[in-house]
Amino acid sequence: MIVINEDKSFLSKVDFKAIENDVAKLGIRSLKFDRFVTEKEKQKNKKEYEMLSNEQWMIKCEQRLKEVHDKLKYIMDKLSERFIICQYNKKLNFHDDNWELFFWSNKGWNNKEYFDYITLSPNEKQPIEQQLAIINDVINILKTMDIEGIQVTIQYTAIYNEEKVQDIVLNYCRKMQNKMINYGSYTGKIIELNGRYFFKKKGSRKYIYEIDNFKILKNVFAK
């Protein structure tokens, strides 16, 4: 069976806080497909490496890479029967918006003949509910495949509600206007000019900076 893992390492502390406070939702950054090796197989590989000549070892590695490539290609061919996959479905125009998944592989990089890992990413132009439904369908299909030696890692991201973010940032700027705050790695004040808010570093006489929403959210969710 295909091994399925989860990875939330792309999420920051601000992302987690935003999700907790319903300012963002947990979304899918990508599905990463690559080889899965058990501890037993790792020990076997180590013994073979020590026993085989360099030439024999390279041949063995090439064979294994081809096996992984064939399994991944089989998976992609099956998925492409069900989903519109940009860069895998040959007839699809790259600029079309109706694709459901975006395909990328390392085949061709550094003259690679085979790909040993691939990624599938949802279409960010689609509603998050639709993105999640498609990824869920993909996972369910993968669970039915009797394939050994392949793992799929679900890589998560945070998808923000821009209206809520704007409201939070605006309220914070109004509340903290002309007060000394920490802003990223700097200290300074939020000032208002012609109805817009900017950040001015402490000691600066003329330079001001556009407000970075993420830095403001970091302050809001600091507690």
The first and second tokens of residue 165, run together, are 């973010």
pLDDT at residue 24 in the model? 96
**DSSP H helical ranges for the chain:** 13-20, 39-51, 54-82, 128-143, 162-176, 213-220
Question: Is the pLDDT assigned to residue 26 strictly greater than 80?
Answer: yes
User: pLDDT for 183-196, tens place per residue?
Assistant: 988 999 999 999 89
pTM score, whole prediction: 0.85
- Name every residue whose Cβ is closer than 8 Å to that of residue 122 and which is 6 or more positions away in sequence: 27, 28, 100, 101, 102, 131, 132, 134, 135
Specify the pLDDT at position 160. 96
**pLDDT tens-digit map of 38-55:** 888 878 878 877 787 888
3-state helix vs strand vs coil in the chain, percent to 5: 40, 30, 30
pLDDT at residue number 223: 67
In this prediction, residue 151 carries a pLDDT of 96
- Please report how many Cα atoms fall inside a 13 Å half-sphere around the Cα of residue 14, on the Cβ side: 12
Tens-digit pLDDT profile for residues 121-172:
999 989 999 999 999 999 999 999 999 999 999 999 999 999 999 999 999 9
Query: Where along the chain do its domains lie?
Result: 3-160, 163-216
- Residue 98 has a pLDDT of 82
Whether the predicted pLDDT of 74 surpasses 90: yes
Burial class of residue 36, CB neighbours in 10 A (0-12, 13-18, 19+): middle
pLDDT band at 91 (very low <50, low <70, confident <90, very high): low
Model confidence over 99-117: pLDDT tens digits? 999 999 887 565 677 888 8
Residue 46: per-residue pLDDT:
81
